[in-house]
A and B are shown apart, each in its own frame.
Chain A
Amino acid sequence: MENIIHGIFLLLGLITVGCVLLMTIYLIISGIPAIREVGLFHFLFGKEWAPVLAEPKYGILPFILTSIYGTAGAVFIGVPIGFMTAVYLAKLAHPKIKSVVSNAVSLLAGIPSVVYGLVGMMVLVPQISTLFHIPDGSGLLAAIIVLAIMILPSIIKMSLTALEAVPKDYEDASLALGATPVETYFRVSVPAAKSGIATAIVFGIGRAIGEAMAVMMVAGNAPNMPSIFQSVRFLTTAIASEMSYSAGLQRQALFSIALVLFLFIMLINTALNFFLKREKVE
């Protein structure tokens, strides 16, 4: 009897592993055919995506570059703001302010991505269009700003946890040697928490590269090569925008895009694990 129950729990535990294997295998099986048909080089480095032409073109370089640029832009804007906020909350803020701001950050994290998309669509896109005198404000810039806002909560929360875990002795020693509090926080606490902060950044990158709906609502969705005011399509939105009506090779190509996105995510996960392990060692 006990053995049967042990077996059942083992099975339940292994379901997670099963799910990961299932997803990996499914993505590979369904992603390979289109890549083989189009050719790996043409697929990854082709600059044109035009699946409905008489001579269809399946190049996803625009999507890959857009995803990379978009994520880089979001990290470039979101990380400094999130990092500075985290240092302030962890070290300088009055406990009451800290609790109010952390609750606001939790709320920010919980807002559905379609709501971000909607606000971006109704506020950000028209603003960009009037500010830069372009006919349509939806494009890479709008997507970058929305993504930057969306990764803020995770960056703040994870950096905050890392900064709070820095031993008080380090800071006391620095203060006793005559450094001011602010100097201590930036020259002692931050370096001591660096792998935690690195984890936060990598996590943010994962979030940004995987976001689909909010980006779909503000990026314009034309398969152009990325440029700051152009309407662009990300890897995620490329999958989402054509899935409902595609068939045949076009549909299979979408699965291949998912495979490419999955590989990116796995790469980021590996980096994340690396930093997490280093944090544990420290």
Chain B
Amino acid sequence: MSDGRAPLATLREAPWIVSIAFAASLLAIWQLGAAMGRLPEYILGPADIVAATFDQIHRGELLDRVIPSLRRALSGFAIGASIGVVLGLLAGVSRPFRELFDLTQAFTHPIPKIALFPAVAIVLGFTDPARILIIAIAAFFPAYLNALNGALGVNPGLVWVGRNIGASRVRIFLQVVLPASLPRTVVGLRISLMVSFIMMVATELVGHSDGLGAGLMDAYLEAEYGEMYAGILAVAVCGVLANAILLLVSRRLLSWQGAGGTGHD
């Protein structure tokens, strides 16, 4: 191997170096621009953002926003996704059940659920139940559809084995269909969780509220840019953490899949 190519080949073995270098240089350019005062006043540099975030954490304001937001997102997710998984699996194994839901689901699924929020808020007010209801409805669909397709896609041979062995319908559902559709169900849960977080921010941006989304909007209106960036950072961290936790749990649950993994980004 020639000398000229050697460093590149080494880099190729360890692409994370490039990843970090790229991210770091982006941050550096951003910081430099901010320090030189070349950027508009509402674009803070990374260092200022971190400082503002720590300031917010220190004063306890950030936590006061994170807690109600997370409560809404997670309870909406728990309600919507669990109903979705149960109904989806049932629809997957029962044809009449599936047919009964089919058209209703096809017509309601494409509605952007956030569009329901103003109408729901008229009845329930801009309250937690209204927000949780919207988040739950939005989280329901990906969970339902993926559990349904998971159950439909179960290798029929596995079910035949259960019938051959003389296992009851309930046992086949619990010990064959449920685990066999788990990979797909987990994919649905991850989408549901992402949707829940989008709906969390969306429902908080609108109307009078506490929480992260409302905090962002208030900070924007009052030109409190440090606060605004701290809020954005908090939303990002919540989203990444929740996804990482769910990913970790699903890896544990699906460890039997072998080297292939779930194969899903």
Determine if chain A interacts with chain B.
Answer: no
B residues engaging A (CB < 8 A)? Answer: none
